[in-house]
Structure 1
């Protein structure tokens, strides 16, 4: 990251380093992705692929991706939700319901290695965008369907958003204090997990195609991605019949693994094995606290959890959080703060890891959260800012499909672009 010059602006992004235009992750620069999705899950999937170098053509209806309207807050006239999942793409605004628009789409699909859609299965089939139709003449094409419930099953025709998927998964029932209403996760977890699953599946499909020469049809659903996220809760229930309940993060198979109050601010504490258990009590100056048959193993400590929590609570309330965290860091005891978002983005560790950056665009700085994966010591670079609606119509038509001025003017006259 180039941090030599940072502008003095009022938004928090003013302190971020400018995006580094890098070639480090051009691993997929031979891959072309046609992205027909909107909202979060699909665009996040294709952004992940773009971070590894894929060329992503974002084909939007004339009204644009739904998430462009999700605000406030807006920046430079666009939703910050949209800006969070659409970097490194080229936008083509196209009415592919018209014959001329459909011809453009077919041309793009002929150039594509991957197509991603979040239309329901029946709608895909109605529009001729389902896997069997598109792959009939394009056997190397990797078709990704990213829907709420998948392409089959009783709920396949139902619409779905992140909130709905979280409700189906059980995560909301286990999130929050025991006397509170069920709570969704504080970010679009199902969208992000399903998007990551789609990107992972595409990488596997590209590997398969390299060996066989054949593409495939991938079926990803928000609900099942979220359910898989719940595996460490679901599998213990299936194997034991014990139904976990909401506890406000104060219960776990690990004893002790929860939040605690200190003299000023709360912290998190995870005593995940016997060695850490002993180091904790040594760190707080009470080695004898780790001794006794009733606390010898994790199973023992679970039985006596309430008593142990009371003891630890009394100890931790005697000092401020910063002192405890410094002490626990030296003792190699897993602990941490409970950050607000402003504290997350200001943390020097994440700044050092290039976790956040800004992309200049037409006089504005667009904040971004980095891929977070380092390869050979390098963080992923950024190739371009999130596109305006239809920003790359002419560029894509000319360079990818070979359209000339007359053909482009005809498309405009027809209303296709």
Structure 2
């Protein structure tokens, strides 16, 4: 069965994570993705590790399935001609060079749209194409710091903390994917392409959601709350007899059921705890009561009782424990791909479960330059020309 983006060709000249993550999602949905890599070094993540598996970086493997890899020297006239040829028959270009870099090379959107009126270019930068920071490099860690995310992450009395994954890159990849799908829909109606100007900073600020809204509405600067929620109580980590679990009581009705599970139904009738706003005011007293009760039984027992009562909860799993969870297995969140160097390559599955056009895992994360020759042949170059490209450091 063909994917929903079958027939769409993506040229991906991005590196590291945000752009490659975006193009991988598009590839999962059926698009043809051509990953253009530097003719000497390739995507930086190919060298990021350990771990490496038979020479392949686990970091690189995580964001590059369903792609073909082609090496190309974009600083040469011949390399640019090849790129123009590819673009003329493609739908989308994804790039994350610093602002203005591709324009100086003659490969910016204004130049490429002359070759292809319907071209969509998604330009990912740290800070966008406008503003005083437009020429600065942007890295996930720096954006987590500057966006305010780190200021609200960590223990109350501890240091600011980054999130355990490059969450800004991931969110930017998702926003870029949304932008591309929107631009494709517009092109279907108008025949015109467009450029998508998307920045890590903008995406992370947008993703502060209620925390940002709380500040904009109140003027009060948010602070770190550890594992507590700024607006809801009880909604945090608790320590059971044998480990930690999260309990998330989202409304007053759930709180009534929660107190019944605790064996203290009278708490829900007390004025100081009756409504969430009261619980916020008196949270220290309430949390102390909950902590004392929850510490008396193992987390598995609490989970069974809380699940039965419809109270959102869950143990704090390690990554290893998560992958052994029967729900993860049932949802096929681990997939195996054939790979020329790695036996039984395992990758994280896709969360997109489409009933008519399901996600497909068609290609392993490509080896460096694995498809250079076949792609050049597909756009009209013969073996002798390809041989000269290699001799002249074009590929």
* TM-score computed with the length of structure 1 as normaliser: 0.92
Instruction: Indicate if the aligned counterparts of 1:40 and 1:191 stay in contact, CA closer than 8 A.
Output: yes
Name the CA distance, whole Å, in 1 between partners of 2:17 and 2:206: 19
Partner of 1:137: 115
Partner of 2:194: 216
Counterpart check, 1:82 vs 2:82:
no
Unaligned runs of 5+ residues in structure 2 are: none
Match of 1:367 among 335, 343, 346: 346
Name the CA distance, whole Å, in 2 between partners of 1:150 and 1:39: 18
Partner of 2:236: 258
**1:127: how far off?**
1.2
Partner of 2:9: 32
Q: 3-state SS of the aligned residue for 1:259?
A: strand
Partner of 1:159: 137
Deviations 1:247-279 (A, max 9, x none): 212242011111001111010011110111011
Counterpart check, 1:234 vs 2:221:
no
Deviations 1:136-161 (A, max 9, x none): 33220001100100111100000111
Instruction: Indicate if the aligned counterparts of 2:87 and 2:115 stay in contact, CA closer than 8 A.
Output: no
Partner of 1:13: none
Q: 3-state SS of the aligned residue for 1:258?
A: strand
- Please tell me the root mean square deviation across aligned C-alpha atoms, in Å: 1.3
Counterpart check, 1:52 vs 2:29:
yes
Name the CA distance, whole Å, in 2 between partners of 1:379 and 1:397: 30
Deviations 1:329-367 (A, max 9, x none): 111000001111101111110110001112121242322
Report the CA distance shift for 1:29/1:356 in structure 2 as closer, same or farther (over 3 A). Answer: same
Instruction: Indicate if the aligned counterparts of 1:73 and 1:80 stay in contact, CA closer than 8 A.
Output: yes
Q: 3-state SS of the aligned residue for 2:183?
A: helix
Instruction: Indicate if the aligned counterparts of 1:89 and 1:386 stay in contact, CA closer than 8 A.
Output: yes
Partner of 2:176: 198
Name the CA distance, whole Å, in 1 between partners of 2:89 and 2:359: 26
Partner of 2:305: 327
Unaligned runs of 5+ residues in structure 1 are: 1-22
Q: 3-state SS of the aligned residue for 2:138?
A: coil
**1:410: how far off?**
2.1
Higher mean alpha-carbon deviation, 224-233 vs 355-364, is at 355-364
**1:301: how far off?**
0.8
Name the CA distance, whole Å, in 2 between partners of 1:159 and 1:225: 15
Partner of 2:85: 107
Name the CA distance, whole Å, in 2 between partners of 1:140 and 1:120: 24
**1:413: how far off?**
2.2
Q: How many residues align?
A: 393
Partner of 2:355: 376
**1:378: how far off?**
7.8
Name the CA distance, whole Å, in 2 between partners of 1:137 and 1:89: 24
Q: 3-state SS of the aligned residue for 2:113?
A: helix
* TM-score computed with the length of structure 2 as normaliser: 0.97
Deviations 1:361-395 (A, max 9, x none): 12423221112111118852201100011000111
